[in-house]
Amino acid sequence: MSQMKMTDGPVDWECAHCDTPLSPGKVSLDYMGSRFTVELMRCPTCGFVYIPEDLAMGKMAEVEGILEDK
Amino acid sequence: MDQKELRELERKCIQDEPPFCKAACPIHVDARLFVGHMARGKLRDARKILDKTMPFPAILGRICDHPCETQCRLKESGDAIAVGALERACITHTTSSKKIFKLPPKDTKIAIIGSGLSALTVALDLTKKGYPIHLFDGAPKPGGTLCDIPASLLPREAIDDAITQLKEGGASITMDTPITPERFETLCDTFDAVYLGYDGKNEGPLGTVFPMDKRGLTNRENLFAGGKIKGNSPVYLAAQGRWAATSMDRYLQKVSMTAGRETEGPVPSRLYTNMKDVVPAPKKMPASPETGYTSDEAEIEARRCIQCECLECVKVCAYLEKHKGSPKAYVRQIYNNLSIVKGTRTINTLINSCNLCGLCETVCPTGFSMADVCHTTRQHMVQIGKMPPSAHEFALLDMTFSNSDDFFLTRHAPEETKSQWLFFPGCQLGGSSPQHVTDAYAYLRKNLHPQTGLMLACCGAPAHWGGDDARLASVMEKIKGAWTTMGKPGLITACSSCQSIFTQFLPEAETVSIWDIMAEKGLPAGSQGTQSQMMPLAIIDPCTARHEKGVQKSVRSLLTDLGTKVEELEHSGEHTECCGFGGNMSNADPAVADEILKRRISQSPLDYVAYCIVCRDHLASAGKRVHHILDLIWPEHTAPNPGFSMRQENRLRLKSTLRETLWHEKCPEAEAYRRIPLQISEDALKTIEGRRILKEDIQKVLHHVKNGGKGLKNPKNGHRLAFYKPLKVTFWVEYEERDDLFVIHNAYCHRMTVAEGGR
Ligand code: SF4
Ligand code: SF4
Ligand code: SF4
Ligand SMILES: [Zn+2]
């Protein structure tokens, strides 16, 4: 999933803290000693990263499983 | 597991032993596979099997005297499969496309005397190996005793074709050349090796019989001979040719004449095949015995073959079936998996999802225990740090919860200062049926002994199942410490998993099942005969009580006293099945656990009765009506399958209720996050439970937000989204805050973390 683009355009979520719409940005994800850089929606002001449900329960879960079997 | 242990385990599973027919065949034609193809009308595939193993299938396939049939498993209860006649049919209805594939020619010369079936086989096998063959025979036509067989059975073209095949392979064939003793000596002197084929003729081509053994060795160094064992049996002639060819090749290569030849010729098979459900059918007779089976007749006969194999364990275990092999194959895969240094361990799920129920061991003819293999492998994986973190974590966290102050409790009976007995209801009964813990505890104090203390805890089974010895040891230490402080009273369990854990890991304690006590002391007043109006119930023995004959009996007698008519399932008692909870299976592979449940609930249309609360909940979750025996004794307190979150809440409440009502202790208020009120629709709860997310996890996220944690908002619908990572898993919750409660719309989780500075 390294270097993958994970954002499919604008989302309805906004940062509740900064009152700002989210925008795409590069984010590093870590698990079991591996790091992936992906593009995710985040708050441009405070950096809060939004992990959508389908990513968490789909691709991320799959990659977690693969890394756990390494 | 080292190489040696692996090999011992592999040997223990006899699934790959040859079928009886193949083992009895002197040249080990795979008759099971051959007949299998014939049964499906696949004559070409069947022919390939014969072509692969038989020398001259067009000859031997027609005339084989089929010693395999004497060992066919079906012979015990009727007619053996007519393997010989099927081979003949296959040969008559197909042609071979097989060519000799030769190795580069060798510069050693071989003479063969005679042209019967053994001599021709030597010629063929050695030609294939690249030896230049010179065959001599005094007769005008080749074939030896083959020429005595009626042409209606063995058409002469078959012999001619064999000769052509040999010639094409480079053999030189000289007929009509009498073998005088002088000629014979010359051949022995000028050729590197000589074969003398008796082939059913008493004195052989030379008129002299040399002493010889099965492998064709004689008392002369480069002379080999065969064709005298078992008279004129065609398959033995072919076999002797084959064995002699092997000996000659080894002699010329100067390698061991004996190594690795133990299985040459007919051998006994260790295979086991269950004949229980086999209905014997008579052998199909060909309409015309002269010409043999038509292909239709052959198919009918072949379909009688039961394709002998063992797989006793696979037949009773959906988990073994799912992974599509036999334990023999699995141990090899597990061994390989353990040997991986870098790369993906592809069968971790296989290792972690066996429910360790032990059924395989009880049905296996050699007592192979897949449970032991999986369990020791898990221990090893934990030791070397290669256990996937998510495999058993949910169950282990639940265990940690039950042994924390949230649930753990030990007390002497109210007003008592000593304990003769200690009731250990277990975490699951406390979670699923808390009121029955209270009922049973009161019963014990009244009917067994007033000095019966109480211990609320988890016995450590999840750690044991997950192979986590260190965690199991620390649980045992805690339990043992508390039990010792209580004065080492007798332990009363209400769960057979606790019982089996204590028997193994706390052997110094006297452990007895509550069912034994109840059977002895009698049902609580008023419950006798209350169930006599009900339909019979089919009884579910928990897998951990498989060998607890006494407990099984006690439960049955209690049910009878209740007035219940008990029906036995086919898989009960020693042969009972696991509900899918054991070994943390439902955690590691929910799909296979579901399959097991599905099969279990369809074994009887009757309602079930269980005496393990987890069995009740699991079976009920699949839609079956299941009672726990305590549901029948104290029916007013029944609430099946509360789900994961509710179990934890029940335990919390059980502890505080008991403390307040029995010991008049004042309990501290629940922690702040636990007091956050939630509203979750049934659908949302189902999704959330399926993801193994607890209400407690959700409350922690909300607590985090209440304490300044950041989050997202959706201006369109007013929903909020926030996350929190209490331990290893990050939980996200989508919610709305309404008046005094939180409406939960969704929750999901992941284990990856956003790197530092990324947030
Ligand atoms: S039943 Fe079939 S597989 Fe079994 S021994 Fe007979 S021929 Fe072989
Ligand atoms: S689930 Fe039970 S029967 Fe199946 S392999 Fe494991 S221990 Fe054996
Ligand atoms: S029951 Fe299973 S483990 Fe035992 S020999 Fe048969 S296939 Fe192998
Ligand atoms: Zn922000």
Q: What is the pLDDT of residues B670-681, one digit of tens each?
A: 899 999 999 999
Among the partner-chain residues B710, B716, B720, the one whose CB lies closest to the CB of A48 is B710
Judged on CB neighbours under 10 Å (0-12, 13-18, 19+), B254 is: exposed
The whole-number pLDDT of residue B759 equals: 43
- Whole-angstrom distance, CA of residue B256 vs CA of residue B261: 10
Pocket probe mutation, ligand 1, options B15, B16, B20, max atoms within 8 Å of Cβ: B20
- Whole-angstrom distance, CA of residue B325 vs CA of residue B311: 9
Whose structure tokens read 């097991």?
Answer: B596
The whole-number pLDDT of residue A3 equals: 47
- Whole-angstrom distance, CA of residue B35 vs CA of residue B73: 14
pLDDT band at B669; cut points 50, 70, 90: confident
Cα first-last separation, chain B? 45
Q: CA of B345 to nearest chain A CA: how many angstroms apart?
A: 5
What CATH number is attached to the domain comprising A53?
A: 3.10.20
> How confident is the model over B276-284, as a mean pLDDT?
91
The number of residues in chain A equals: 70
Pocket probe mutation, ligand 1, options B308, B309, B310, B311, max atoms within 8 Å of Cβ: B308
The domains of chain B, with CATH numbers, are 18-98+298-309 (no CATH), 110-253 (3.50.50.60), 312-383 (no CATH), 393-522+642-648 (3.40.50), 537-637 (no CATH), 672-750 (3.30.2310)
Question: In the predicted model, is pLDDT for residue B758 greater than 50?
Answer: no
CB pairs under 8 A between A and B: 96
Chain B environment of A30 (Cβ under 8 Å): 752-755
B175 contacts chain A (CB < 8 A): no
Where on the phi/psi map is residue B529: left (φ > 0), alpha (ψ -120 to 50), or beta? left
B237-261 confidence digits (pLDDT tens):
999 999 999 999 999 999 999 999 9
Q: Which ligand is nearest to the CA of B305?
A: 1
B positions 327-356 inside 8 Å of A (CB): 342-346, 348
> How confident is the model over B311-321, as a mean pLDDT?
93
| Rg, Å, chain A Cα set | 13
Nearest CA in chain B to A50: B712
- Whole-angstrom distance, CA of residue B457 vs CA of residue B475: 9
B239 Cα distance to chain centroid: 36
Nearest CA in chain A to B388: A68
SS3 (DSSP) at B419: coil
Q: CA of A1 to nearest chain B CA: how many angstroms apart?
A: 12
In chain A, how many domains are there?
Answer: 1
pLDDT band at B490; cut points 50, 70, 90: very high
A29 Cα distance to chain centroid: 7
> How confident is the model over B595-604, as a mean pLDDT?
94
B385 contacts chain A (CB < 8 A): no
Contact A69 B748 (CB under 8 A): no
B313 CA: nearest ligand 2 atom: 3
Chain B environment of A68 (Cβ under 8 Å): 348, 388-391
Q: B61: closest CA among B366, B344, B345, B293?
A: B293
| Residue B291, C-beta contacts closer than 8 angstroms, at least 6 positions apart | B92, B152
Judged on CB neighbours under 10 Å (0-12, 13-18, 19+), B295 is: middle
pLDDT band at B587; cut points 50, 70, 90: confident
- Strand B566-568: give its sheet, edge to edge: B566-568, B537-540, B607-610, B626-628
Q: Does the CA dihedral B578-B579-B584-B587 come out positive or negative? A: positive
pLDDT band at A7; cut points 50, 70, 90: low
The whole-number pLDDT of residue A10 equals: 64
Does the ipTM exceed 0.85?
Answer: yes
Contact B390 A69 (CB under 8 A): no
A66 contacts chain B (CB < 8 A): yes
Contact A31 B723 (CB under 8 A): no
Indicate the range of B431-435, B571-575, B580-584 predicted with least confidence: B580-584
Contact B714 A31 (CB under 8 A): no
Side chain identity, residue B498: C
Nearest CA in chain A to B381: A69
Whose structure tokens read 């004195």?
Answer: B203
Residue ranges making up the domain that contains A29:
1-70
User: What is chain B's mean pLDDT, rounded?
Assistant: 93
The whole-number pLDDT of residue B97 equals: 67
> Does the Cβ of B351 fall within 6 Å of ligand 2?
no
Proportion of chain B above pLDDT 70, given as a percent: 99
Contact B712 A31 (CB under 8 A): no
- Whole-angstrom distance, CA of residue B305 vs CA of residue B86: 12
Question: In the predicted model, is pLDDT for residue B22 greater than 80?
Answer: yes
The H or E element containing residue B13 is none
Nearest CA in chain B to A63: B752
CA B41 to ligand 1 center in whole angstroms: 17
Contact B531, B485 (CB under 8 A): no
Q: Does the CA dihedral A61-A67-B1-B5 come out positive or negative? A: positive
Q: Does the CA dihedral B431-B433-B435-B437 come out positive or negative? A: negative
| Residue B523, C-beta contacts closer than 8 angstroms, at least 6 positions apart | B558, B561, B562, B633
The whole-number pLDDT of residue B100 equals: 66
- Whole-angstrom distance, CA of residue B193 vs CA of residue B214: 17
B311 Cα distance to chain centroid: 7
Contact A49 B712 (CB under 8 A): no
- Strand B193-197: give its sheet, edge to edge: B172-174, B133-136, B110-113, B193-197, B223-226
Contact A69 B346 (CB under 8 A): yes
> How confident is the model over B631-639, as a mean pLDDT?
84
Contact B35, B81 (CB under 8 A): yes
The whole-number pLDDT of residue B336 equals: 87
The whole-number pLDDT of residue B530 equals: 85
The number of residues in chain B equals: 759
The strand pair at B537-540 and B607-610 is best described as parallel
Indicate the range of A2-11, B572-581, B590-599 predicted with least confidence: A2-11
Q: B96: closest CA among B44, B42, B151?
A: B44
Proportion of chain B above pLDDT 90, given as a percent: 82
- Whole-angstrom distance, CA of residue B227 vs CA of residue B239: 9
